[in-house]
Chains A and B, each alone.
Chain A
């Protein structure tokens, strides 16, 4: 699961230190603008905007390519076989993916969660995302341990019948996850949980954040004109 570990914030810059809400809204806007238009000047303008953000955040092409290809390769393959024109679809997919990569490389996932929460995304959704983020790695580790246990006992499926073991592993994994959820709930109760997730501190929306969003505003103009 090296691809999973290959995530997270890279470096530090003024962009990194922006309010996560500004980054989330700004980069989402770039994606929406690109996806909602078929005109190439709009796509070019979005690409330029992303390049500028990447440069300001000092995120190199290596990082972007390495992370983007995980999503982009399959998407582009599908686009290739779609009957619609390839270039605009590819452009949209690339812009959307690179926006997400830039958000991920400049904003930690917990910050994205806070941004979602403060942008009034339903709490329950944010809570689910938060637990998924927290336990994804634990579950991946558990899967790997189980796989190692199977392999250590000579499990190497050659025909369909042997795949049965996988079903049992899936069941075991479900049970373990369920039991974990029960224990986590106990641990939350032990520390006074009363069905409401408490929040520590809220970052303030500052001038830099307003500037960042204003700087992206010309894109809207291009979109309207084109």
Chain B
């Protein structure tokens, strides 16, 4: 589905954002992209929509055309205030489908808002929502475009525990290729069977999430750590019957 080879990108001020990233993601896979601040996670995400263009190769479902990429890959930005720019929630969710000129815009808006349990808020202005609600609407704006791949940047940042849990539950029900950029290791463990560790613009580890999270020296070397008292072994036990083989996950 996603195929990146030797992706390199430097910002105009000379800061290297990506320093040769290789990443392959199969259809239906759920992958966590972990890494410390400034690792290049957001930079990588912007490449998936051709909002930044580095050297190297990047294709999604075989294409690298900007317009096609934006239809295939839905980005949920780090700050929902950046994502929600229309005067009402409904119009914001409709923005993408209207640009795609699909016929069933209203139905898509309804469906997307229902998926994140925000249907009753359709006529509110975004600034009248709480942060957790804004995040959910931000996810709906992308779901309404029916992308093959959903990419979320720090979806759990600044959420209270309950809203965070609800968000995880919402994401668990979304059945498509998922890339979650996060520092929230427990969230990665719950949602994604595979994790990629990005550091200083390179992929430094790539494997099953639980193995990666069990590797304390690796995490420490890249400024990551599990929360105090977090019991990985418990997750191991509960996760095994639930974990699904990537290939069986059916995209929409």
Q: Residue of B at shortest CB range from A188?
A: B85
Given A199-B98, A200-B98, A190-B75 contact (CB < 8 Å): yes
Is B87 touching A134 in the complex (CB atoms < 8 A)?
Answer: yes
Q: Residue of B at shortest CB range from A129?
A: B87
The verdict on B3 contacting chain A, using a C-beta distance below 8 Å, is: no
The verdict on A178 contacting chain B, using a C-beta distance below 8 Å, is: no
Complex alpha-carbon distance, A133 and B71, angstroms:
28
Given A184-B82, A193-B99, A199-B98, A110-B77 contact (CB < 8 Å): no
Per-residue B-contact encoding for A74-87, CB less than 8 Å = 1, 0 else: 00000000000000
Complex alpha-carbon distance, A191 and B151, angstroms:
13
Is A191 touching B87 in the complex (CB atoms < 8 A)?
Answer: no
Given A189-B70, A190-B70, A110-B88 contact (CB < 8 Å): yes
Is B75 touching A200 in the complex (CB atoms < 8 A)?
Answer: no
Nearest-neighbour CB distance to chain B for A143, whole angstroms, equals 14
Is B85 touching A198 in the complex (CB atoms < 8 A)?
Answer: no
Nearest-neighbour CB distance to chain A for B82, whole angstroms, equals 4
Is B91 touching A200 in the complex (CB atoms < 8 A)?
Answer: yes
Complex alpha-carbon distance, A63 and B121, angstroms:
25
The verdict on A47 contacting chain B, using a C-beta distance below 8 Å, is: no
Contacts of B87 in A (CB 8 A): 109-110, 113, 130, 133-134
Beta-carbon contacts under 8 Å, A146-166 to B: none
The verdict on B51 contacting chain A, using a C-beta distance below 8 Å, is: yes
Contacts of A198 in B (CB 8 A): 94-95, 98-99
Is A200 touching B51 in the complex (CB atoms < 8 A)?
Answer: no
The verdict on A187 contacting chain B, using a C-beta distance below 8 Å, is: yes
Is A200 touching B100 in the complex (CB atoms < 8 A)?
Answer: no
Nearest-neighbour CB distance to chain B for A31, whole angstroms, equals 24
Complex alpha-carbon distance, A130 and B125, angstroms:
11
Q: What's the interface size class on B, roughly?
A: 35 or more
Complex alpha-carbon distance, A130 and B86, angstroms:
7
Is A191 touching B99 in the complex (CB atoms < 8 A)?
Answer: yes
Complex alpha-carbon distance, A74 and B145, angstroms:
49
Is B86 touching A134 in the complex (CB atoms < 8 A)?
Answer: yes
Is B98 touching A138 in the complex (CB atoms < 8 A)?
Answer: no
Beta-carbon contacts under 8 Å, A165-191 to B: 180, 183-184, 186-191
The count of chain A contact residues (Cβ–Cβ below 8 Å) is 28
The verdict on B16 contacting chain A, using a C-beta distance below 8 Å, is: no
Which secondary structure characterizes the binding site on chain B? helix
Complex alpha-carbon distance, A184 and B67, angstroms:
18
Q: Residue of A at shortest CB range from B83?
A: A187
Is B127 touching A137 in the complex (CB atoms < 8 A)?
Answer: yes
The verdict on B218 contacting chain A, using a C-beta distance below 8 Å, is: no
Per-residue A-contact encoding for B123-144, CB less than 8 Å = 1, 0 else: 1011100000000000001100
Contacts of A131 in B (CB 8 A): 85
Nearest-neighbour CB distance to chain B for A218, whole angstroms, equals 34
Is A192 touching B71 in the complex (CB atoms < 8 A)?
Answer: yes
Complex alpha-carbon distance, A131 and B82, angstroms:
12
Complex alpha-carbon distance, A171 and B75, angstroms:
30
The verdict on A6 contacting chain B, using a C-beta distance below 8 Å, is: no
Is A184 touching B99 in the complex (CB atoms < 8 A)?
Answer: no
Contacts of A138 in B (CB 8 A): 81, 127
Contact of B82 among A113, A136, A180, A192 (CB under 8 A): A180
Contacts of A133 in B (CB 8 A): 87, 125
Nearest-neighbour CB distance to chain A for B235, whole angstroms, equals 33
Contacts of B46 in A (CB 8 A): 186
Complex alpha-carbon distance, A138 and B67, angstroms:
30
Contacts of B95 in A (CB 8 A): 188, 191, 193, 198
Complex alpha-carbon distance, A186 and B125, angstroms:
21
Nearest-neighbour CB distance to chain A for B129, whole angstroms, equals 11
Residues on A close to B: CB < 8 A?
108-110, 113, 130-131, 133-138, 180, 183-184, 186-194, 198-201
Beyond the given pairs A187-B75, A188-B95, 18 more chain A to chain B contacts, judged by CB atoms under 8 angstroms and listed by A's residue number, are A113-B87, A133-B125, A134-B84, A134-B87, A180-B81, A183-B82, A184-B85, A186-B46, A187-B77, A188-B85, A189-B49, A191-B141, A192-B67, A192-B71, A200-B90, A200-B91, A200-B98, A200-B105
